Every structure is written in structure tokens, then in C-alpha cells.
């Protein structure tokens, strides 16, 4: 899990950040729009509603030392379920390289959309980036 911040406002609610989730086994990304200053609780609720409730709890979360994920909320949640919460240093490609590459690709897509004045849409909390 990693964040992309300072993106152009997305959708009706003007989201300005995006949480990138990458399933390491299926190699599939998921993008969740957020506001830059959402709390750890806001993040947990969105992840629960859009991901965990459909696919189940992650076996491990690997993230850089983002305060939203290192908060007591996430630590306690994972302790209750007996799962692991792992932290890495930022831009550590051996640990979270797939997420870093996905973020680079997402940033290129966002720049291209902005260059061609195409609108990025956020629908029901899911970031949808498509070809018009």
C-alpha cells in the first residue's frame, strides 16, 4: 500500500490523493481515491468497504512508515486477527517494488489525461481511469 498525493481533483468530491493497493500474488492493482488529509480511521473504513468486505483481510500489509498505517488502529486490528503489519523504507524496491512501479505508471496516466484535458472520474469511491 502506498499513497499518490497532490493529484488533480477527482470526481464530485474533489479527491486529491489516491491509495494504491497491489495484490502481490495476482499482480493486480486497485486505486482508491481519498482526500490528502483523511485520517487513519477514514482510510480503514474505505479499505474495509471497498476491499476487505469483498476479498477478505490481507495476510500482510507492506507499506512505508505512513502514519495512517502505523497508527494504533491498524496495529490493533491486525493483532486481533493474527495478521502481520510490515513496514519498509520509502522507495525500497526489493520489498514494495510492484507498488512503486504501479505508482509510476499511475502518475504517467494522470499526466497524460491532464495533458489532453481528459477528465478523471471517481465513482462510488473507486478511481476509474479509462480510455475515452
Average pLDDT, the chain: 70
Rounded Cα distance, 9 and 78, in Å: 32
CA distances 48 to 39, 88, 89, 94, 104, Å, are 14, 23, 25, 27, 25
N- to C-terminal Cα separation, the chain:
28
Q: What is the pTM of this model?
A: 0.67
- Specify the number of domains making up the chain: 1
Rounded Cα distance, 51 and 23, in Å: 11
Q: How many residues can be counted in the chain?
A: 132
Q: Which domain holds residue 32?
A: 2-128
Read off the pLDDT band of 124 (50, 70, 90): very low
CB 8, CB 14: distance < 8 Å = no
SS3 assignment, position 58: coil
Rounded Cα distance, 23 and 1, in Å: 9
40-98 pLDDT, tens digit each: 778 778 878 877 777 777 777 776 666 666 666 667 677 777 776 666 655 555 556 67
Here the CATH number for the domain that contains residue 58 is 3.30.420.10
Amino acid at each position: 500500500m502506498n499513497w499518490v498525493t497532490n493529484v488533480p481533483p477527482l470526481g464530485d468530491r474533489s479527491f486529491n490523493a489516491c491509495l494504491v493497493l497491489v495484490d502481490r500474488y495476482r499482480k493486480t492493482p486497485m486505486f482508491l481515491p481519498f482526500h490528502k488529509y483523511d485520517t487513519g480511521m477514514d482510510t480503514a473504513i474505505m479499505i474495509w468497504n471497498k476491499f476487505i468486505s469483498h476479498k477478505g483481510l490481507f495476510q500482510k500489509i507492506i507499506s512505508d512508515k505512513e502514519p495512517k498505517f502505523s497508527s494504533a488502529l491498524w496495529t490493533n486490528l491486525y493483532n486481533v486477527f493474527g495478521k502481520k503489519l510490515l513496514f519498509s523504507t520509502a522507495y525500497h524496491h526489493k520489498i514494495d517494488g510492484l507498488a512503486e512501479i504501479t505508482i509510476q505508471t499511475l502518475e504517467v496516466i494522470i499526466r497524460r489525461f491532464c495533458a489532453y484535458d481528459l477528465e478523471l472520474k471517481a465513482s462510488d469511491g473507486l478511481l476509474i481511469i479509462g480510455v475515452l
